[in-house]
Amino acid sequence: MNFTEAKIRCENLRKIIEQHNRSYYVDANPTISDFEYDLLIKELEAIEKEFTELQTADSPTQRIGNDINNEFVQIKHKYPMLSLGNTYSESDLNDFDQRVRKIVSDFEYVCELKFDGVSISLIYKNGILQQAVTRGDGEKGDDVTANIRTIRTIPLKIYGDYPDEFEIRGEIFMPRSSFERLNKERLDKDETPFANPRNATAGTIKLQNSSQVAKRGLDCFLYYLLGENLPHANHYDNLHEAKKWGFPISQHTKKCQTIRQVIDYINYWDEARKTLPYDTDGVVIKVNNIEQQEELGVTAKSPRWAIAYKFKADQAVTKLLSVDFQVGRTGAITPVANLQPVQLAGTTVKRASLHNQEQINILDIRIGDMVIVEKGGEIIPKIVGVDKSYRTDDSKAFEYITHCPECGTKLEREESEAKHFCPNENGCHPQIIGKIEHFISRKAMAIDGLGVETIELLYKNNLINNIADLYDLKKEQLLPLERIAEKSAENIIKSIEDSKNVEFQRVLFAIGIRFVGETTAKKIVETLHSVDKIMTADENELLQVDEIGERIAQSIIKYFANPKNQEILQRLRNAGLQFEAKETNKKISDKLKGMSFVVSGTFTSYSREELKQIIEQHGGKNVSAISASTTYLLAGEKSGQMKTEKAEKLKVKIIDENQFNMLINK
Ligand code: IVH
């Protein structure tokens, strides 16, 4: 195939693929099999790989995302992104209707579902998606285009008679099926599940790596068109037009002539929404005619021509039988209510979260009370109040525990924390087990041969009491245990042995220092390289690490000051675990000594992470925010505008990749 043939085929393939995307995602009417679709994508990928000049950002192959670390650049919205006033009752709606009637007459409403996700603004020029920006503070938001491109329902290119330039706004959400799959995966990997699809969506949109976003199954509905040359003078027809161009527009949007019809729509969807595959939290009511919208105008925060009606969360009243206190891996105490089983939003609820002592005090919750349980978007229902009319005279205020229910140690509570803690981190059963489970988990030491049940078994048989004990285990000690045959004993020993090669940053995450998650561990290792440096670092040195604040710094110091932890670390070191970063993080020169850098944007010869590594290898320091003491802002393409402005204001020198090369090569 020569270049011209490739170009023609490429354009054809893109058109065919986008049409199939539309049939599949927008019209829900696929005309080819997934297999055939994949063949088309593969063919296009192959052409783009051979003829790199044909690669474009709007190609359907780009939906798989890339591994580049995104740093979000802030973009000013052309039209501010307003929010909506909320209503909760029929009388609120009647008030809204009266307010509208005072200003315009002879109008109609459009009712739409209020999708429970994250709002987004998409900018199209000449039919091509240019930019996707989050709401941010309403004035400016984050440029999340790379991530949004991976959402298959959002057209990268549109077809038909569209205006040259326009903005279309809508909601990105995670369908319940994607949410359940994601949380299952997270639980399997010992990661904290997301509380609800909305949080999962928000977390996903801000992921640094768009290829991860592509896997999360996000979806979108668009509900608001803005621009100078819109096809129709009313909102409803504009949305229908946008659907023809290829946008995902909800089919449940309805025109209503009276507020009574609006209320009927709300009542219908309050029940029917439960059958939708995604979450909605209300109905949005909009005046249809755009001229009338303009006449009604906006207040500081929201338009006068639209309002949101919020569905009430599902609630039930039931008896609080008792309260359990759970102790987590880090010693955090969570009170959990045991309830008389009650039906709520299609499931039987027996347990509900009580959060912490303060919450219990505020709500004045007592054992035996009839409590109001609510199921919002969260997985675990929560108690939101007490029906005191059922309370008997002998009911007593709730006494919160003062000692750990597992080990009896006196609980502690730091001023800034809502939760109590059991400080007996190395002697309290759920903490011991939890710490070992965390240590072996996939993102930590990845000791696959061991599972949660085996850990319990080894602990019960006095073979392990902490993470260091794992490295003293012998095959002969395992064989007498029930359920452990020769082969699995060998597997366990081998995978423990293999873990000695796990890189230092994961070891640091695995040892379970409070607040030191995977990313924090990585950042610490990037700056401090070895356990010896970390354990001798004072608070100031720790605060120099990107993203580390006082809370984390103090937690690290506390961990290393504990003699029991010191002993465990010594044993792990003797066993041969990696306690320092590999060569790549080692010093090359002192050319950048005493200099601090903020790296922003994208670069031609290096990734941002590589640059940060080079800075450290030459004795320089990376900092995340610009201050007067920063030496250089190393700015690449698309470097954040705010950063540039701040650097100029504080007279921090701005250098590019070439100037940086000169610094290290001089
Ligand atoms: S219209 C100026 N329509 O609800 C009007 N918003 O509470 C702009 N939302 O920020 C919004 N579904 O994120 C509109 N059908 C819908 C919506 C919707 C969900 C969200 C949106 C907005 C928030 C306001």
Whether residue 591 is contained in a domain is answered as: no
Residue 26 has pLDDT above 60, yes or no: no
**What is the C-alpha R_g of the chain?**
29
Total Cβ atoms within 10 A of residue 418:
12
Q: Please give the Cα distance from 421 to 354 (Å, whole number).
A: 16
Q: What is the pLDDT of residues 144-195, one digit of tens each?
A: 999 999 999 999 999 999 999 999 999 999 999 999 999 888 877 767 788 7
**Ligand 1, atom nearest to 114 Cα:** 12
Q: Please give the Cα distance from 495 to 574 (Å, whole number).
A: 18
Measured by CA distance, the residue closest to atom 18 of ligand 1 is 114
Residue 323 has pLDDT above 80, yes or no: yes
Whether residue 205 is contained in a domain is answered as: yes
| E strand residue ranges, 143-253 | 165-173, 219-226
Measured by CA distance, the residue closest to atom 13 of ligand 1 is 119
Of 119, 236, 266, the one to substitute when testing ligand 1's pocket (max ligand atoms within 8 A of C-beta) is 119
Of 118, 284, 298, the one to substitute when testing ligand 1's pocket (max ligand atoms within 8 A of C-beta) is 284
Global model pTM greater than 0.85: no
Whether residue 400 is contained in a domain is answered as: no
Measured over the CA atoms of residue 274, residue 280, residue 281 and residue 283, the dihedral's sign is negative
Same domain, yes or no: 160 and 46: no
| E strand residue ranges, 135-228 | 140-142, 165-173, 219-226
Measured over the CA atoms of residue 453, residue 456, residue 457 and residue 463, the dihedral's sign is positive
Residues in Cβ contact with 217 at an 8 Å cutoff, skipping those fewer than 6 apart: 174, 175, 177, 178, 181, 182
Do 319 and 339 touch, CB atoms closer than 8 A? yes
- Among the listed residues 88, 13, 396, 416, the one whose alpha carbon sits nearest the alpha carbon of residue 263: 88
Residue 550 has pLDDT above 60, yes or no: yes
Q: Which residue has the higher pLDDT, 322 or 616?
A: 322
Q: How far is the CA of 165 from the centre of ligand 1 (A)?
A: 22
CATH number of the domain that 607 lies in? Answer: 3.40.50.10190
**Ligand 1, atom nearest to 224 Cα:** 1
Total Cβ atoms within 10 A of residue 13:
20
Q: How far is the CA of 130 from the centre of ligand 1 (A)?
A: 22
Whether residue 462 is contained in a domain is answered as: yes
Of 223, 262, 293, the one to substitute when testing ligand 1's pocket (max ligand atoms within 8 A of C-beta) is 223
Alpha helices in 51-137, H assignment, sequence order = 90-103
The secondary element (H helix, E strand) that includes residue 242 is: helix 235-245
Reported confidence tier of residue 613, pLDDT bands at 50, 70, 90 = confident
Q: How far apart are the first and last CA of the chain?
A: 47
The secondary element (H helix, E strand) that includes residue 123 is: strand 118-125
Q: How far is the CA of 373 from the centre of ligand 1 (A)?
A: 28
Reported confidence tier of residue 226, pLDDT bands at 50, 70, 90 = very high
Give the strand order in the sheet containing 128-134.
128-134, 118-125, 165-173, 219-226
Q: What is the pLDDT of residue 359?
A: 85
Q: What is the pLDDT of residues 412-458, one digit of tens each?
A: 998 777 889 999 988 999 999 999 999 999 889 999 888 888 999 99
Q: Please give the Cα distance from 286 to 304 (Å, whole number).
A: 9
Q: How far is the CA of 549 from the centre of ligand 1 (A)?
A: 35
**Ligand 1, atom nearest to 118 Cα:** 13
Measured by CA distance, the residue closest to atom 21 of ligand 1 is 119
CATH number of the domain that 363 lies in? Answer: 2.40.50.140
Share the mean pLDDT of the chain.
Answer: 90
Q: How far is the CA of 285 from the centre of ligand 1 (A)?
A: 10
Same domain, yes or no: 121 and 267: yes
Which domain-ending residue is among 292, 310, 328?
A: 310
Domain that holds residue 129: 76-310
Number of domains in the chain: 5
Of 78, 82, 83, the one to substitute when testing ligand 1's pocket (max ligand atoms within 8 A of C-beta) is 83
Residue 384 has pLDDT above 90, yes or no: no
> What residue type is assigned to position 116 of the chain?
D
Q: What is the pLDDT of residue 238?
A: 97
Do 526 and 460 touch, CB atoms closer than 8 A? no
DSSP string, 54-70: G--TTSGGGGG---PBP
Same domain, yes or no: 490 and 558: yes
Q: What is the pLDDT of residue 30?
A: 64
Whether residue 45 is contained in a domain is answered as: yes
Do 361 and 386 touch, CB atoms closer than 8 A? no
Which domain-ending residue is among 335, 365, 390?
A: 390
| E strand residue ranges, 328-433 | 333-344, 347-353, 370-375, 382-386
Measured over the CA atoms of residue 74, residue 553, residue 328 and residue 318, the dihedral's sign is negative
- Among the listed residues 485, 489, 460, the one whose alpha carbon sits nearest the alpha carbon of residue 474: 489
Say if residue 349 is exposed, middle or buried (CB neighbours under 10 Å; 0-12, 13-18, 19+). buried
Same domain, yes or no: 116 and 221: yes
Measured by CA distance, the residue closest to atom 7 of ligand 1 is 84
**Ligand 1, atom nearest to 303 Cα:** 2
Say if residue 261 is exposed, middle or buried (CB neighbours under 10 Å; 0-12, 13-18, 19+). middle
**Ligand 1, atom nearest to 86 Cα:** 7
Do 247 and 158 touch, CB atoms closer than 8 A? yes
Whether residue 334 is contained in a domain is answered as: yes
Same domain, yes or no: 250 and 354: no
Q: How far is the CA of 87 from the centre of ligand 1 (A)?
A: 13
Measured by CA distance, the residue closest to atom 17 of ligand 1 is 114
Q: How far is the CA of 659 from the centre of ligand 1 (A)?
A: 46
From the list 114, 286, 419, 643, the catalytic residue is: 114
Whether residue 415 is contained in a domain is answered as: no
**Ligand 1, atom nearest to 116 Cα:** 19
Same domain, yes or no: 40 and 139: no
CB-based pocket (< 6 A), ligand 1: 82-84, 112, 114-115, 119, 171, 223-224, 284, 303, 306, 308
Same domain, yes or no: 160 and 303: yes
Which domain-ending residue is among 575, 605, 625?
A: 575
In the chain, what percentage of residues exceed pLDDT 70?
95
Same domain, yes or no: 630 and 657: yes
Average confidence (pLDDT) over 34-60: 84
CATH number of the domain that 241 lies in? Answer: 3.30.470.30
Q: What is the pLDDT of residue 40?
A: 87
Same domain, yes or no: 454 and 497: yes
Which DSSP category does 229 fall into?
Answer: S
Q: Output the six-digit token pair for 529.
A: 């390289």
Q: Please give the Cα distance from 174 to 278 (Å, whole number).
A: 7
Whether residue 655 is contained in a domain is answered as: yes
> What residue type is assigned to position 517 of the chain?
G
Residues in Cβ contact with 511 at an 8 Å cutoff, skipping those fewer than 6 apart: 439, 467, 559, 565, 568, 569, 572
Same domain, yes or no: 265 and 173: yes
Same domain, yes or no: 93 and 154: yes
Residue 643 catalytic? no
**How many whole angstroms from its chain centre is CA 658?**
35
Residues in Cβ contact with 182 at an 8 Å cutoff, skipping those fewer than 6 apart: 174, 194, 200, 216, 217
Measured by CA distance, the residue closest to atom 16 of ligand 1 is 114
Q: How far is the CA of 115 from the centre of ligand 1 (A)?
A: 8
Across-strand partners of 167? 123, 226
**Ligand 1, atom nearest to 119 Cα:** 13
Total Cβ atoms within 10 A of residue 146:
21
Of 78, 84, 172, 265, the one to substitute when testing ligand 1's pocket (max ligand atoms within 8 A of C-beta) is 84
What are the helix and strand counts (H, E) for the chain? 24, 20
Q: How far is the CA of 126 from the centre of ligand 1 (A)?
A: 26
Q: How far is the CA of 164 from the centre of ligand 1 (A)?
A: 25
Write the CA distances from 32 to 17, 28, 248, 301, integer angstroms. Answer: 10, 12, 20, 46
Q: Please give the Cα distance from 549 to 543 (Å, whole number).
A: 6
**Ligand 1, atom nearest to 82 Cα:** 2
Measured by CA distance, the residue closest to atom 2 of ligand 1 is 82
Q: What is the pLDDT of residues 495-522, one digit of tens each?
A: 999 999 999 999 999 999 988 988 889 8
CATH number of the domain that 446 lies in? Answer: 1.10.150.20
**How many whole angstroms from its chain centre is CA 246?**
28
659: left (phi over 0), alpha (psi -120 to 50) or beta: alpha
Same domain, yes or no: 438 and 480: yes
